[in-house]
Chains A and B, each alone.
Chain A
Amino acid sequence: EVQLLESGGGLVQPGGSLRLSCAASGFTFSSYAMSWVRQAPGKGLEWVSSIASSGRNTYYADSVKGRFTISRDNSKNTLYFQMNSLRGEDTAVYYCAKDGTSAVKPAALDYWGQGTLVTVSS
């Protein structure tokens, strides 16, 4: 059974940093691209970042480019999201999600974690 378990969320002051983790199990983690998608309270889904299966290629939404860094450790089956220079508008539930295919191309997201809440406030 595929499982994605996010952790690391919490309350942080504006300008602060936070690192999210997503522990994966039930599939060959190193074969799949992974993504982070966030959802602000009462709002829709916003894709923020993806990383190729190898970790060599990364992609970011303009809203987080230069502030957030996605990475992965395939030996630990874990996805990371380093968030720096946090702003109030970064307040959201952050979901990690798995690509639906091991082919090296973009794909629908077939499994999602339960999400972790990040609150940026003084």
Chain B
Amino acid sequence: DIQMTQSPSTLSASVGDKVTITCRASQSISRWLAWYQQKPGKAPKLLIYDVSSLESGVPSRFSGSASGTEFTLTISSLQPDDFATYYCQQFNTYLYTFGQGTKLEIK
């Protein structure tokens, strides 16, 4: 099975900051990676799919990139609504796997 290693597990930042979250796959997954945002008590929300394609309605301050098996979610200028937990997910095969999550906290 493909393992997804996400870091950091917790990130403290301030409104207006630029932040980066990283996910590393244990083997090649081509471009089959997505990012989700989850707020307490709510279902996850798809932000980005296929490494860098923004889901409809998602603000352009969110972006994704890749270098080999390392994937990055960047939020260019944090807004109050962005403080949440973020997960990466690979869908190279139907045996999907998620990263462990990154909790983005207000500094």
Once the chains bind, are A106 and B43 in contact (CB under 8 Å)?
Answer: no
Cβ 8 A contact of B97, one of A47, A57, A95, A109: A47
From B16-24, B75-83, B87-95, give the one contacting chain A: B87-95
How many A-B pairs have beta carbons closer than 8 Å: the answer is 62
Contact count band on A = 20 to 34
Q: Does A45 contact B (CB under 8 A)?
A: yes
B8 at the binding interface (Cβ < 8 Å) = no
Could you tell me which residues of chain B, from 2 to 16, have a CB within 8 Å of some CB in chain A? none
Cα–Cα, bound, A100→B94 (Å): 13
B23-64 vs A, Cβ < 8 Å mask (1 yes, 0 no): 000000000101010100001111001100001000000000
Given contacts A106-B91, A107-B91, contact A35 B96 (CB under 8 A): yes
The verdict on B98 contacting chain A, using a C-beta distance below 8 Å, is: yes
B43 pairs with A113, CB closer than 8 A:
yes
Chain A residues, Cβ within 8 Å of B49: 100, 107-108, 110
Report B-chain residues with C-beta under 8 Å of the C-beta of A45: 36, 38, 44, 87, 89, 98, 101
Which residue on chain B has the smallest CB distance to residue A101?
B49
Interface size class of B (residues with CB under 8 A): 20 to 34
Alpha-carbon distance between A24 and B97 when the two chains are bound, in angstroms: 24
The interface centre, meaning the residue of B55, B93, B95, B97 with most chain A CB atoms within 10 A of its CB, is B95
Is chain B's binding surface mostly helix, strand, loop or mixed?
Answer: loop
Q: In whole angstroms, what is the CA distance A106 to B94 when docked?
A: 5
Q: For the complex, what is the distance from the CA of A36 to the CA of B10, rounded to whole Å?
A: 26
Q: Which of A45, A95, A100, A108 has the most CB of B within 10 A?
A: A108
Partner of B98, one of A47, A107, A112, A115: A47
A46-83 CB mask vs B (1 if < 8 Å, else 0) is 11001000000101011000000000000000000000
- Can you list 20 pairs linking A and B with CB atoms under 8 Å apart? A33-B94, A37-B96, A44-B98, A44-B100, A45-B98, A47-B95, A47-B97, A50-B94, A57-B94, A59-B94, A61-B95, A62-B1, A95-B43, A95-B44, A100-B46, A100-B49, A109-B34, A109-B36, A110-B46, A112-B43
